[in-house]
């Protein structure tokens, strides 16, 4: 038989090699036609008495299987259809598990979600050992939980403790890490994969068993105890009202465990089916596709930098340089003061240690990062990034020099967070060469990078810059060069509005709690303290050059008193000597949603102004920017999506009421509410 998405080759030892190569798709994902073909293959092989074993592998250049096809998540017409698709998958994987001969999943590259569940139904799993190979069940990131047997097979394979650690966080493991906890039976180097797979099929080593202690956990009382602790731990990170899926997984485990397989599978399908229809799932799926859209922007150019030159070894410059070196690029780091370069190298080493683990990889990354006090690297670099002080005069001098030395096709970029490109580039002979590549702090954590287009920036240079940002595994967001670009422009009025609330006597703790309850990773007052009140003030003052900004006197006073936030152990909050925030009094008795409404509306108002002014192409990209640049509640799908779902007119009316209630001024005005 021939198949559209699968290829079967039987070797001279009667081992069937099943290669998955999904037709017309860049990566392997599982959808109904693929699963139906797979079921037929299992039927065909299962009844063939000659077959001694089977190896399932990818026929693609990269990756094993990226999971279920996420596109289908929004397309189930009702709950029954959702559950039916899940049950169908469960049946297919049960059939795989029941084959009369050993099966091996040969995993090279990503093996995620449904792909991992398929591998779990095989007798053995052999993984390529490096960290390029990623195994895991990241369904929580999409607001669901595994639904094709994963929540049952994984605890039964590696024990409930390790299984929940993976399923509740969605984190993934390298081949080596997977072998260490028994998720893979072996981790080998790539050239040995086929040999290892064959060994397992022919020699049939004993299957791994979980420890007695772990098997004891699967009884009613132990499950209740573990469930209690798991819930407590998850609650520290996630609100069940916002992220129900991890709590649902714990409930399932507590109530039915994983010994009675059919009961556990039925419950898994039912609860996963329900989660498909939650707002959280629909919005997180939206975020996945927004992320893909940003990734896809990079495909327009095949530019690859081999050498990056960073000017300025302060926190931003040093961290940008370290990140580029981590991603495999040669970097020269220029700063007149060797002290800053030394500090940057020290931080870089720590980053390499935490990300790369293996000594030879750490050393190689460190060797790629070259101190360059004299700035000799400028003339050979493919990308030059300036990250010096926010001073127009100094930046202009720097760019006049850079332009005279740089290769004709090098990207010349500024990491300015505030100075318009068209002011900096006036000293350049070819102002169209200047582009903004604006990173967020901390560089290693923040996925977003704004790629800023000045009025004169050349389109090809912009495109190459976007590709460069993807090359270093960040998400590029094209924005127009205007004050604050997109993220700071929207974030700053929100922070100032929060400070205004403090001025009006609202307890800081209540303000922070309100926004955390809304779904922000951190409250605005804590955020201001963390960013640094001096930084907030200078960004606000800068924006104030272009818009009527009312900077609260409280903010100015704190900066004047040198209470700059966390870094000085005092800002709006006080901090102990370990940097831990000291709780402040909170006697707020009104609903926290009132505070959240006002602050979110302030943010929305600025977001709409950015859309009207064309700072960003559309509302989807704006949402992506705020989610990946500030952590705006991902389960709400971004500010514009929130406005769309909540009804703009209603929100606008509420905002008007708040406006009248508070005398606060605003940066931009929205003329009228528009339905979008």
Site string for ligand COA, 127-166 (x = CB under 6 A): -----------xx--x------------------------
- Minimal distance in Å, beta carbon 562 to ligand COA? 45
Helix axis angle for 592-613 and 619-630, nearest 10°, is 130
Q: Which is nearer to ligand COA, 20 or 655 (CB)?
A: 20
10, containing H or E segment: strand 6-10
Binding part of the chain for ligand COA, among 25-33, 261-269, 316-324, 641-649 by CB under 6 A, reads: 25-33
- Minimal distance in Å, beta carbon 339 to ligand COA? 38
Q: Which is nearer to ligand COA, 252 or 415 (CB)?
A: 252
| Biggest CA pair distance of the chain | 84
State yes or no: residue 69 binds ligand COA (CB under 6 A): yes
Binding part of the chain for ligand COA, among 99-107, 112-120, 492-500, 600-608 by CB under 6 A, reads: 112-120
Q: Which is nearer to ligand COA, 65 or 595 (CB)?
A: 65
- Minimal distance in Å, beta carbon 456 to ligand COA? 31
DSSP for residue 299: G
State yes or no: residue 295 binds ligand COA (CB under 6 A): yes
**Is 255 annotated in the active site?**
no
**DSSP SS3 for 455:** coil
**Is 91 annotated in the active site?**
no
Rg of the chain taking only CA atoms, in angstroms = 27
The secondary structure of 530-563 as a DSSP string is HH-HHHHHHHHHHHHTTS-----HHHHHHHHTT-
**Site for ligand COA (CB under 6 A): which residue of 42, 68, 163, 643?**
68
DSSP for residue 47: T
Binding part of the chain for ligand COA, among 288-296, 352-360, 486-494, 656-664 by CB under 6 A, reads: 288-296
Q: Which is nearer to ligand COA, 71 or 612 (CB)?
A: 71
The residue annotated as part of the active site, out of 139, 403, 450, 497, is 450
State yes or no: residue 108 binds ligand COA (CB under 6 A): no
The residue annotated as part of the active site, out of 307, 309, 438, 542, is 438
**Site for ligand COA (CB under 6 A): which residue of 292, 354, 391, 430?**
292
Binding part of the chain for ligand COA, among 64-72, 199-207, 242-250, 492-500 by CB under 6 A, reads: 64-72
CA distance 360 to 597: 52
**Site for ligand COA (CB under 6 A): which residue of 4, 11, 23, 26?**
26
Strands 448-453 and 434-439: antiparallel
**Site for ligand COA (CB under 6 A): which residue of 9, 11, 13, 71?**
71
Q: Which is nearer to ligand COA, 195 or 292 (CB)?
A: 292
Q: Which is nearer to ligand COA, 4 or 202 (CB)?
A: 4
The secondary structure of 61-111 as a DSSP string is SS-SB--B-GGGGGT-SSHHHHHHHHHHHHHHHHHHHT-SS-EEEEE-S-E
Strands 411-414 and 434-439: parallel
**How many residues at the interface with ligand COA, by CB under 6 A?**
20
- Minimal distance in Å, beta carbon 116 to ligand COA? 8
- Minimal distance in Å, beta carbon 634 to ligand COA? 14
Q: How many CA atoms lie within 13 A of 474 on its CB side?
A: 30
Q: CA quadruple 357, 359, 365, 369: dihedral positive or negative?
A: positive
- Minimal distance in Å, beta carbon 296 to ligand COA? 5
Burial class (CB in 10 A: 0-12, 13-18, 19+), 76: middle
Q: Give the residue from 571, 576, 543, 545 showing the smallest Cα distance to 559.
A: 571
**Site for ligand COA (CB under 6 A): which residue of 66, 537, 570, 648?**
66
**Site for ligand COA (CB under 6 A): which residue of 5, 54, 67, 196?**
67
The residue annotated as part of the active site, out of 417, 418, 641, 664, is 417
State yes or no: residue 29 binds ligand COA (CB under 6 A): yes
Would residue 532 be called left, alpha or beta, if left means φ above 0 and alpha means ψ between -120 and 50 degrees?
A: left
State yes or no: residue 273 binds ligand COA (CB under 6 A): no
Q: Which is nearer to ligand COA, 293 or 346 (CB)?
A: 293
638: Cβ contacts below 8 Å, ≥ 6 apart? 286, 287, 290, 619, 620, 622, 623, 624, 626, 627, 632
Q: Does residue 257 contact residue 219 with C-beta atoms inside 8 Å?
A: yes
* 515, two tokens: 């926004």
State yes or no: residue 75 binds ligand COA (CB under 6 A): no
State yes or no: residue 627 binds ligand COA (CB under 6 A): no
**Site for ligand COA (CB under 6 A): which residue of 98, 296, 557, 582?**
296
DSSP for residue 570: B
Helix axis angle for 639-646 and 279-297, nearest 10°, is 140
State yes or no: residue 70 binds ligand COA (CB under 6 A): yes
User: Per 3-state DSSP, what percentage of the chain is helix, strand, and coil (rounded to 5)?
Assistant: 55, 10, 35
State yes or no: residue 297 binds ligand COA (CB under 6 A): no
Give strand pairing partners of 103: 54
CA distance 620 to 392: 32
**Site for ligand COA (CB under 6 A): which residue of 15, 16, 18, 27?**
27
Q: Which is nearer to ligand COA, 30 or 570 (CB)?
A: 30
Helix boundaries (H) for 373-458: 392-405, 421-424
Q: Which is nearer to ligand COA, 295 or 656 (CB)?
A: 295
**Is 617 annotated in the active site?**
no
Q: Which residues bind ligand COA (CB under 6 A)?
A: 26-27, 29, 63, 66-71, 110, 112-114, 138-139, 142, 292, 295-296
Which residues form the catalytic set?
A: 417, 438, 450, 488
């Amino acid at each position: 038989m021939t198949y559209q998405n699968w290829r079967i080759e039987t070797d001279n030892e009667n081992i069937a090699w099943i290669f998955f190569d999904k037709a017309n798709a860049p990566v392997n994902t599982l959808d109904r036609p693929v699963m139906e073909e797979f079921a037929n293959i299992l039927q065909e092989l299962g009844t063939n008495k000659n077959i001694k074993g089977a190896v399932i592998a990818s026929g693609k250049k990269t990756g094993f299987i990226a999971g279920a096809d996420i596109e289908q998540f929004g397309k189930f017409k009702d709950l029954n259809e959702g559950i039916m698709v899940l049950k169908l998958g469960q049946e297919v994987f049960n059939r795989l598990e029941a084959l009369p001969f050993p099966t091996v999943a040969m995993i090279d590259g990503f093996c995620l979600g449904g792909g991992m569940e398929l591998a779990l139904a095989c007798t053995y799993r052999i993984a390529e050992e490096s960290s390029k190979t990623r195994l895991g069940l990241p369904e929580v990131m999409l607001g669901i939980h595994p639904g094709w047997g994963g929540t049952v097979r994984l605890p039964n394979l590696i024990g409930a403790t390790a299984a929940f650690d993976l399923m509740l966080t969605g984190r993934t493991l390298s081949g080596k890490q997977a072998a260490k906890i028994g998720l893979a039976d072996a981790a080998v180097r790539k050239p040995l994969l086929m040999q290892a797979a064959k060994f397992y099929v022919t020699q049939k080593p004993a299957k791994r068993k979980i420890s007695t202690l772990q098997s004891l956990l699967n009884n009613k009382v132990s499950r209740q105890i573990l469930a209690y602790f798991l819930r407590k731990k998850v609650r520290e990170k996630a609100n069940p009202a916002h992220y129900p899926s991890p709590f649902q997984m714990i409930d399932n485990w507590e109530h039915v465990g994983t010994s009675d397989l059919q009961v556990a599978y039925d419950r898994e399908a039912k609860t996963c089916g329900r989660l498909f229809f939650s707002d959280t799932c629909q919005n997180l799926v939206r975020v996945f596709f927004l992320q893909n859209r940003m990734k896809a922007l990079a495909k327009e150019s095949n530019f690859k930098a081999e050498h990056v030159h960073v000017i300025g070894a302060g926190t931003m410059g040093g961290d940008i340089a370290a990140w580029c070196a981590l991603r495999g690029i040669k970097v020269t780091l220029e700063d007149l003061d060797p002290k800053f370069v030394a500090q940057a190298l020290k931080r870089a080493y720590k980053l390499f240690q935490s990300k790369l683990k293996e000594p030879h990889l750490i050393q190689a990354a460190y060797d790629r990062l070259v101190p360059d006090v004299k700035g000799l690297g400028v003339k050979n670099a493919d990308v030059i990034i300036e990250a010096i002080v926010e001073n127009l005069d100094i930046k202009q001098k720097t760019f006049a020099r850079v332009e005279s030395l740089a290769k004709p096709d090098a990207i010349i970029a500024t990491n300015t967070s505030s100075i318009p490109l068209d002011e900096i580039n006036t000293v350049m002979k070819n102002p169209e060469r200047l582009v903004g590549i604006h990173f967020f702090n901390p560089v290693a954590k923040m996925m977003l990078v704004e790629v800023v287009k000045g009025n004169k920036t050349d389109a090809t240079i912009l495109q190459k810059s976007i590709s460069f940002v993807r090359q270093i595994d960040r998400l590029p967001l094209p924005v127009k060069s205007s004050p604050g670009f997109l993220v700071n422009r929207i974030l700053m009025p929100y922070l100032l509005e929060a400070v205004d609330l403090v001025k009006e006597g609202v307890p800081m703790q209540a303000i922070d709690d309100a926004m955390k309850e809304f779904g922000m990773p951190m409250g605005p007052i804590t955020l201001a303290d963390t960013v640094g009140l001096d930084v907030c003030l200078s960004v606000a003052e800068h924006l104030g050059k272009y818009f009527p900004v009312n900077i609260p006197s409280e903010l100015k006073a704190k900066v004047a008193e040198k209470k700059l936030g966390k870094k000085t152990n005092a800002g709006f909050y006080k901090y102990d000597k370990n940097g831990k925030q000291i709780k402040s009094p909170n006697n707020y008795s009104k609903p926290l949603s009132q505070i959240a409404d006002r602050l979110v509306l302030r943010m929305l108002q600025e977001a709409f102004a950015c859309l009207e002014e064309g700072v960003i192409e559309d509302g989807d990209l704006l949402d992506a920017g705020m989610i990946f640049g500030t952590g705006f509640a991902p389960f709400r799908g971004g500010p514009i999506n929130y406005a769309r779902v909540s009804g703009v007119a209603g929100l606008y009316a509420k905002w008007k009421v708040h406006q009248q209630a508070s005398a606060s001024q605003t940066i931009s005005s929205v003329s009228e509410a528009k339905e979008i």
